[in-house]
Structure formats: structure tokens, C-alpha cells
Structure 1
Amino acid sequence: MAKDATLWGADAEPEASIRLGWIDLFDGSRALLPEIAGLRADLNGEGVDRIVLCGMGGSSLAPEVITKEAGVELVVLDATDPEQVRAALEDQLERTAIVVSSKSGSTVETDSQRRVFEQAFTDAGIDAASRIIVVTDPGSPLEEASRAAGYRRVFTANAEVGGRYSALTAFGLVPSGLAGADIETLLNDAEDSAEFLGDDDAGNVGLQLGAVLGGTAPLRDKIVFADAGSGLPGFADWAEQLIAESTGKLGTGLLPVVASIDAPELADVADDVLPVVLAPFDEAPSDESTTGTRVTVSGNLGSQMFVWEYAVAVAGRLLGINPFDQPDVEAAKKAARGLLDAQPEPTPAAFTDGAVEVRGDAGLLGSSSTLAEALEALLAAIPVNGYLSVQAYLDRHRQADLEHIRGPLAAATGRPVTFGWGPRFLHSTGQYHKGGSAIGAYLQLTGAGSTDLAIPDRPFTFGELIAAQAAGDAQVLADHGRPVLRLHLTDRTAGVPQLRDVVASLAAPGEVRGNG
């Protein structure tokens, strides 16, 4: 492949010219294998065999799917919820090492996680520097600070590979390899697929997939993923970031929706929905079966990662956008920083129903006085061709049951529904929500925690950080004219089942409330 940076237009050329390193990264990535294996052996020899990954977006999603597919343990800490951070921090610290993964080196979530682990190691009488491994871009502030601090190992990745394309670089390989995944086979499979993707041929599955993603007319711009036993758990979550952050800009783009095989969106496929079924490798063709209305995908993980990276770049060309930038991701970060600096009082709730405080502008809420009425008002605000985004700034392990509201909400609205955990989705679908098609409605969920957690040498806590991230993102969405309903669980134990029950009642037969 020729690395032709002109393919995406003159405006994109400066960025594209420094973001095509993913095309031929294999030699550089393969050189990391003995270093990673040696470090893992050394750590294991010291009784250190629990790896915690502190990273966001592409730095965490790829290692998560790689280790899940391999069946090895990796604790992925892409959160600022105090309870979730504390749970990772207090579990078997004596056998734990952390991988701090950030391209820029300035990601506030990752920096905060590093600080609290470094303090915990020191307080436990453990040499903190010996337990901290860093992955970053060469020349980043994190590289310089880490070397000065004497951290165990500093890996630098190819700076010409963007975060969401970094699965096969040090960002994906270091934490996965330290956790015990077979990263050599992953690279071999990806390189095998790269050989046939270079063919300018109608049978090129990357071109086929890219054409179906970005070239349907009219555009099927909601890509609904359903896993039919692919053996690649978490793959759709990784693809979600790749697609949304690459294409959601300039008022257009593709919205990925991670669903189940029995999802409402697939029972009655709308004209703007493209179903993508992740099929078992041994039960379906190894190439992409594309019909224009449905895509069936199967293959090993390395091959699928490289095929989808290629296809999304092709889709970006067809959509007329630059697939390598993320111009709207910074907006929510800037708003959150402003709220952390100012520390304003929380916006008063419009009303409280049981364990749920309800917030939203008067134009959205109208005369609503119950949780059910507020949700009905939000669902009614979804455009005919729109979607609903549920954004939960909570502990994605302890409050995992919340994900079950996605299907009933899709049934109630007749429209696609995405579900994202905050703040991780800010580095993923967050780009599409602000820069893509202005057809979304947003349900934000936050919750009171039992205890907060301080961040060493920072003037804010994890609780204050996640509150600022949620409020900042809601502010940016509202500034873009998007309808936002904010629900705060004053008691998580009571609030989660209450919300689930109300959503279930909205999805009862004959109760469809969306405009679609």
C-alpha cells in the first residue's frame, strides 16, 4: 500500500501524511516481542502477575479485546468513578504492576490513575517505580517524566499511528503481552491480511467492506453490531471507537451501535440501519459477505483488526472526511477542566422521583413531574432518523445491569440506541455525538458514591473529576442544541432497579414513543 495522503483531500493531507504508519508497522511491532516477553518473565519471577492497564480510548479498548479473546486476565481501568478506581487499587496490590498508556502523556484520567497507584505502592512499602510501565509517543511529556522517575520500563510507539489505529503497536501489544496473550500470532494474522488488502481488485474485502460502510445510497449510517458467537468478545466495542471517532465529523459520519443478536434494531431493520453480524470463524466464510443491507464478518482477531482499520479509512474517503483527526473530542475535556477550576455548585434538580434526581432544560421537560414522564419527553425529542445515546458515568462493573436498559429503550423508540460508559465513551463515540449528524438525543446517568478518593498532588478528587466530566459533556451537547436529560442516582442500589423498571414499562407493547 502506497501511503497516499492525498486520498482524503487537500484539507486532510497534512494530518493524513503523519497518520499512515499503521499500514506497515509489522517490523517495528515484531521487534517489541522479545522485550515484552522478557519483562513479563522478570515480573512473574518477582511474584508480579496482575497487570492493570491505565488508559483511555484506543489505549484501552484494543488490549481489552485482545486479552478477552486470549482468555487471560487484564484489569482495564478506563474510569474515574471512585468506586471502580478503588476496587482496582485495593485488589492484590502486592502482585500488581500497572501499564500507564497515553499517546499525549497528558490524559487527565490516566495521569490521575497513575498518581493514585504510585501512592498506594509507596504506602504499602513497595518500590513504586519498579511496578510502573509506560507506553507513550516518543518525545511526549510522559516519556520525559517517566524516565526521570526511573519507572520500570518506558515503551515508545510509532508516533505516526493514531490512537484508534494503535491496536498492533506498543499500545495494544505491551499490556496484552504482559498479561499473557499470544501477541505474535496476532501480528502474524494481521500481516497475512495486509498482503491481500494491498490488491487493487474487486475481490479485496477491505474495499468491499469500506464501500458498504460509506457508500450506500441513501447512506445506512447506523452500523448495528451483533455477535453471533464470533469468539471475539469485546470486538464491537473496539470497532465502535474506530468507526465513530474516525467518521463522526463535519455533520456526517457513521454511528456504531453495539447490540445483541436479538436486538430490536435487527428484528425490524430500518432503512438507515446496516446490520453487521460477527459470525464464528469456523461456521462462516473468512471474508466479509456484503449485500448492501447486511454484513457478515468472520475471521481471526488480528485479521479483523487490520481489515476494519483499512475499511474505515476507505469509508472516510467515500464520506469526504478526514478519518484520522478528532476535532470535537477536546471540547468536553476543555469544559471539564473549566468546571474543575471553577468548582461551581451543582445545578438544582428540576424534581426528584424516588432515588433519581432529574435535570433538563424546561423546553425538554415541559410539565414532567415523574421519571417516566421525563423519559417520555426525551424519547419524543428523537428525530425520525435519529438515535438515543445512553451515557452512564458510573462503575461499569458494579452497575453493569444498567446495560440492560438499551434493548427496551430501542423497543420503546423504534430507533437505534447506543450505550456508553463515561468517561471512556468520550474518547470513542463522543466525537460522533458532537461532530456527526445532529440527530441524537442524550440520556446521561450519574450517581452518588459511598466514598470519594483523593488524587495525590491534585486539587480535585476522583468524585469531583467524574462529576466535572459529566457536567462538561452535557454542557457541550446542550451548546450544540442537542436534547439532554440528566438523571442522578442519589442511591445507586435503589436507583438502578428503579430506572430499569421505568424503562421496561415504556417498552411495554403499544407504548412506542419515539418519532421514528
Structure 2
Amino acid sequence: MGSLSFQASGAALAAVDQHVPKLAKDKVASRIAAKDHTLWGPDAESEASIRLGWVEAVEVSRPLVPRILKLRDELRTEGVTRIVLAGMGGSSLAPEVISNTAGVELTVLDSTDPQQVAAALAERLSETAIVVSSKSGSTVETDSQRRVFENAFKQAGINAAERIIVVTDPGSPMDSASREAGYRAVFNADPNVGGRYSALTAFGLVPSGLAGVDIDELLADAEEAAEILSEDATENMALALGAALGGTEPLRNKIVITDEGSGIVGFADWAEQLIAESTGKQGTGILPVVVEPEAPELSMDAADVLVIRLVDTEAEIELGENEVAVAGSLGSQLLLWEYATVVAGLLLGINPFDQPDVEAAKTAARGMLDERPETPEPAAVDRAVEIRANGAWLNGAGTVAEALEALLGTLDTDSYLSVQAYLDRFGQAELAQLRPRLASLTQRPVTFGWGPRFLHSTGQFHKGGPAVGVYLQITGASEEDVRIPDRPFTFGELISAQAAGDAQVLVDHGRPVLRLHFTDRQAGTRQLQEAVASLSDGKP
């Protein structure tokens, strides 16, 4: 079973001891496996009744494997060796983890940043096929990415239909449109699985399999784990992990996740979306904070923090206080965390299958695109950075350092800082290095998300969870923009609307939002790095 293991200490162990016996007695694990949609209460029944297909994903997905592998071999025979994945949220995060862990190339395009889109278009187009993944096809990011690649293929004299593969729900608008367009292949996923639970469905398997992953082995691994995770036993690790996530008292709702040699590349980013989008609602929830080994959060010992260490199955672990260690192979861990998340939702008293506040940000972005409001004048301009804010807390700040200091001054003992960069996550990866420096400076948990992809992840918690977040939004002018065929907006305009829309929703929730816009990306990045360094040195 991939040698799944679980250890807990302190508040996490107390939660396990308190809740697991009752969870086992109430047959929670077997009821999940039997797709009992009544577990989470009357308000969740309608959604749960169409969202529990993931418990049988292995069985449902197995017939897809030969078709995926046949298509992979056909593409390779034709010289198509590069797979691009256009998808957001659950449609992209799981395939990225699966392919990176297997060490195979998969280009994940989960951004509307024009520089990131242009870079994906510029690389080996003649050897490229694109997998377009969306349950309905209505996701604006994914639709835009499909349009621009289809146009690029045509401009290069390539038969676009032969290079486009679609993953979608049966009967969706995208399903029928793709078949009418004559695209190379259309794979239907189980419609009774939500996006963030779709790792072991067609959404996870098609791009990974086409890229070269042994998806048969992945499913076999998960199949072994499924037998254990569905048992109503006090030894069930899904019940234990779910209790640790959602059952501490008082709730430790900042879950700091660090990878200490698990062998699974980027797993914490996938778990972040699964947990945050599933639980962050009704003023409660769990905020995953993905950190590096030796990150400041690991030694904060704050009352609202629980540390989870992802470790190797062979490692000997000595836990600190209020910590959890989890080990296991990829297929088994994917299923473990899905079970644990819905168990946590049960303990929190929420519906773990909806995401009401994700739609709020989408609606705000659409409004920005339709109305095209004037960009408000900045409160101040500091060389290559325009500074905007939503309240008196800015207190007349005129420099990046002063604005940052004012924002951090709004942090409370139960707050967290969220850094949201609407930029190229590959071309400007160095920005993520600010995360541990800000955590050290504030002595509070700090999340870092790339926009717009985090909107499908922690974005739900930011609006639906407890109102304790403080937000730093970073945007930047692009050296080039990319037109979207047959759409009245460009990628640059789209990502600007997404950033502005989300900021407005956060402001409407009464939260402090500092917006820093780089008129020159490189110069702005240097200024922000210098500002954080100056605050760390005590010289704002």
C-alpha cells in the first residue's frame, strides 16, 4: 500500500484520541466509501450526492488507460513529444505533481500572465500537443489558452485539430463543441467528481499519461490504499489525519506543510488547494501554509499553527510539539488526503464539496472586463512601483517600505499574510523567496500564491474562512501582450481584471489589501526585495 504511515503529537494527537474512536464507531470511513451523501448534513446533501465519485476513481478510470497509452504512442510516432496542459485548479495541480514526481516533462499553463503564455507558445510548437482540461469548458482561463494555441498551430501550418486533446465532463458544452470541431481526442471524466478531488480521474491521468507517466502503477498504488482507508478501524490513517486537520481544540487553522524528503514533488501545493477550497467557508476552515524546510513557521509554536511534515517512508521521525508526520507513495497519499479532507469537513460542520466564494472572484473579474473601469490613481509612486490601498491604514505611506510596514501593522495575533503575485511563476520565481523573509519579519504564517491560479485554491479560504487575512497583491506591466482570438480582451487585460476583481472582493469583506504594481517587473522586484530587507534590518 505504498507504506502509508502517520504520527502525531500534542494537540494533533489529542484530536486523534478524541475523535477517531467515534468516527470509527459511526462508520464514517465505510460510509464515505459507499458514497453516503448524508454524512455532512442536510445542507450538503444535494452537492455531496454528485461529488463522491472519487472514492471509486480507480475502478472508473482503469478503462481509460489503454486509450491514453495508445494516443501517447501515436503522438510520439508523429514526433509530438511535448505536452502542454491548459487547466486551472484541480485540473492542473494533480497532473503537475504526478509528472514532476515521475520526472517526465509536462508544461503546465495555469496562468493568464501574457509573458508566461507567450513563453509556453514559443517553445517547440512543432512538437507540441495541448490537453485542454475543464469540467464544463466555461473556465475563462482555459478557454483563452485553447484559443491562443489553436490559432498558433494554424499560423504555423499545423493541423490544429490533430494537436488538441480535451478532458471534460460528458455532455458538457465543451464536450459537444470539441467533438464537432474534430479535435484529436475527447476524454470524458466522471461528472460526479469535483475538480480538486479529480487527481485519479481523467483530469489527472490523461495529461500525465500522455507525458509519459506510468499511470497504471499510480492506479494500482491507490487501489491498495483504498481498501485500508475505507475500513472503520481506529488505525485508519484517513480518520487520524482528518481529526488532526479539523479536530484540534481550539482549532489550529493554519496548517504549515513542509516536505522533508517525501519524494513527491510539489505535493503540498496540491494538498493546499484540496484543503483550502474544501474547508474555507462559513467563517471557518483550514488554511494550508506551504513552506520550505527550516521555514520560520516551523518554530513559531503559535496557538493557531499545526505543522505537518511530509517525509520519506523509511525516515525515522522525532516530532516536535503539535506536529504531524505523513509518509507514503503518491497514489496512496492522493487518496489519503482526499478522505482526510472530507473527514475534516465533517468535524468542522461544513460542506467540503462546494466553493461559493471562488465564483465571487470570477464574477468580479467578469464585471471588470465588461465595464472596463478606470484604474484608480495610485496613492503614491515609488520609482517603478505604483502603490494602492483600500483604507486609512496606509497612513500616508509614500514608499514601498512604508506601505509594507503599514500593511504589516494591521496583523493581529491570529492573522496571516497572503502574498499574491499575478506574474510569470517561472520567469519571476525569485519572488517566492520573499515568503520566508516576511514570515521571519512578522512572526505570523505567510502564504504565497501565483495569480490567478491561487484563486482556485486558497482564494476560497481568503473570502469564506475567518476574516483574519492581510493581503499583499503584486501585479506588473508586461513587455508584450497576447491577443485572445475572437475575444474582446487580451491576456494582459484578463489578468488585470482578475487581480482587480479579487482585490475588490477582499476589500468588500473588510480586509486590508496593499496593491503594488510594477511598471517595470525587474526593477519593481528589486525594490520590493530591498524594502523587505530594510524592514528586516529595522530601517524602513
TM-score, normalisation: structure 1: 0.97
Hey, what's the Cα distance between the residues in 1 that align with 2:62 and 2:416?
42
Hey, what's the Cα distance between the residues in 2 that align with 1:447 and 1:412?
24
TM-score, normalisation: structure 2: 0.92
The correspondence of residues 26-425 of structure 1 with structure 2, limited to 5 A, is 26-284=58-316, 293-425=322-454
Hey, what's the Cα distance between the residues in 1 that align with 2:429 and 2:321?
34
After TM superposition, give the deviation of residue 423 of structure 1 in Å.
0.3
- Encode CA deviations 1:301-335: one digit per residue, 9 max, x unaligned: 00001000000000000000000000110011111
After TM superposition, give the deviation of residue 338 of structure 1 in Å.
0.8
After TM superposition, give the deviation of residue 398 of structure 1 in Å.
0.8
Kindly provide the amino acid, as one letter, of the partner of residue 478 in structure 1. Answer: V
Hey, what's the Cα distance between the residues in 2 that align with 1:432 and 1:134?
30
Aligned: 1:427 with 2:427: no
Greater relative CO, 1 or 2 (CA 8 Å, sep 6+): 2
After TM superposition, give the deviation of residue 185 of structure 1 in Å.
1.0
- Encode CA deviations 1:471-508: one digit per residue, 9 max, x unaligned: 00000000110110000001111111211121122233
Hey, what's the Cα distance between the residues in 2 that align with 1:282 and 1:95?
40
Which secondary structure state, in structure 2, belongs to the residue aligned with residue 241 of structure 1?
helix
Kindly provide the amino acid, as one letter, of the partner of residue 309 in structure 2. Answer: V
2:515 is aligned, of 471, 486, 489, to: 486
2:494 is aligned, of 457, 465, 489, to: 465
Hey, what's the Cα distance between the residues in 2 that align with 1:5 and 1:297?
28
Contact 1:284–1:298 at 8 Å: present in 2 too? no
After TM superposition, give the deviation of residue 237 of structure 1 in Å.
0.2
Hey, what's the Cα distance between the residues in 2 that align with 1:262 and 1:422?
26
Across the two proteins, how many residue pairs are aligned to each other? 508
User: Which segment is superposed worse, 417-426 or 379-388?
Assistant: 379-388
Contact 1:230–1:298 at 8 Å: present in 2 too? yes
Which secondary structure state, in structure 1, belongs to the residue aligned with residue 288 of structure 2?
strand
CA 1:369–1:291 in 2, change beyond 3 Å: closer, same or farther? closer
Which secondary structure state, in structure 1, belongs to the residue aligned with residue 38 of structure 2?
helix
Which secondary structure state, in structure 2, belongs to the residue aligned with residue 25 of structure 1?
helix
Hey, what's the Cα distance between the residues in 2 that align with 1:335 and 1:436?
19
Contact 1:383–1:440 at 8 Å: present in 2 too? no
Hey, what's the Cα distance between the residues in 2 that align with 1:249 and 1:176?
31
Kindly provide the amino acid, as one letter, of the partner of residue 61 in structure 2. Answer: S
Name structure 1 gaps, 5 residues minimum.
Answer: none
- Encode CA deviations 1:158-195: one digit per residue, 9 max, x unaligned: 00010000000000000000000111111111111110
Contact 1:391–1:422 at 8 Å: present in 2 too? yes
Contact 2:400–2:527 at 8 Å: present in 1 too? no
What residue is the counterpart of 2:28 in the other structure?
none
After TM superposition, give the deviation of residue 290 of structure 1 in Å.
8.8
- Encode CA deviations 1:105-146: one digit per residue, 9 max, x unaligned: 100000000000000000100000000000001111100110
Which secondary structure state, in structure 2, belongs to the residue aligned with residue 269 of structure 1?
coil
| Coordinate RMSD, CA, aligned | 1.3
Kindly provide the amino acid, as one letter, of the partner of residue 429 in structure 1. Answer: T
Dislocated runs of 4+, deviation >3 Å: 289-292
Which secondary structure state, in structure 1, belongs to the residue aligned with residue 386 of structure 2?
strand
Kindly provide the amino acid, as one letter, of the partner of residue 449 in structure 1. Answer: S
What residue is the counterpart of 1:447 in the other structure?
476
After TM superposition, give the deviation of residue 2 of structure 1 in Å.
2.0
Which secondary structure state, in structure 1, belongs to the residue aligned with residue 131 of structure 2?
strand
Hey, what's the Cα distance between the residues in 2 that align with 1:172 and 1:362?
42
